[in-house]
A and B are shown apart, each in its own frame.
Chain A
Amino acid sequence: DVKVTQSSRYLVKRTGEKVFLECVQDMDHENMFWYRQDPGLGLRLIYFSYDVKMKEKGDIPEGYSVSREKKERFSLILESASTNQTSMYLCASSFDINQPQHFGDGTRLSIL
């Protein structure tokens, strides 16, 4: 079974802080994704990566950046956290861009 592990289940940070969310997958998948999930809005793609050191913007990249230094690890960075970034953050990976994505259990982030 694919295992996507997100480092924190719950996180509380203050506005203006730099926040790092970490994600690791154990299936040697090429593609990794970061989403946020908000009630009534569903899942929205922030960034994705199809190879090490490669990244592409999703639908809502503003205020976020990403890093993929190793194939198995994909980090999401909030450069200066704001209250409107309070959300559930989900990491996913897939073997091929047209194959289903497999998700981690999410990080519920609160910005105070």
Chain B
Amino acid sequence: QKEVEQDPGPLSVPEGAIVSLNCTYSNSAFQYFMWYRQYSRKGPELLMYTYSSGNKEDGRFTAQVDKSSKYISLFIRDSQPSDSATYLCAMSAGGANNLFFGTGTRLTVIP
């Protein structure tokens, strides 16, 4: 079983839709949770960083962590064509060599 599972998609939505991206994990020791956005032919760009449980909001983006279900989500409100990218989740229990990435979900927002 992989440490982190992420649906690869692809996911296509119309402009203005609410997008929900999700990852599940197996290691209950994970306490640092991140979402990265990666445009084609570019490196991953940090979007959200959460420590432990709860929600965090930044503009149109909301990250949720449910440690009891070992499930994290990224919501994008009022999605825009510029949100079209691959979204990677990442999580860690802390310490070196202990960061695990999902394989990414490819999102396309159609104008």
Contacts and interface: CB of A to CB of B under 8 A. Distances in A.
A101 B99 CA distance: 10
B44 A50 contact: no
Given A103-B43, A103-B44, A40 B103 contact: yes
Interface stretch (A12-20, A41-49, A62-70): A41-49
Q: Is the interface of A mostly helix, strand, loop or mixed?
A: loop
A41 B43 contact: no
Contacts, number: 50
B92 A56 contact: no
A15 B46 CA distance: 34
Interface residues of A, number: 24
24 contacts: A4-B43, A31-B96, A40-B8, A40-B103, A42-B101, A42-B102, A42-B103, A42-B104, A43-B88, A48-B96, A58-B97, A90-B43, A90-B44, A98-B92, A100-B46, A100-B49, A103-B43, A103-B44, A103-B45, A105-B41, A105-B43, A106-B42, A106-B43, A108-B41
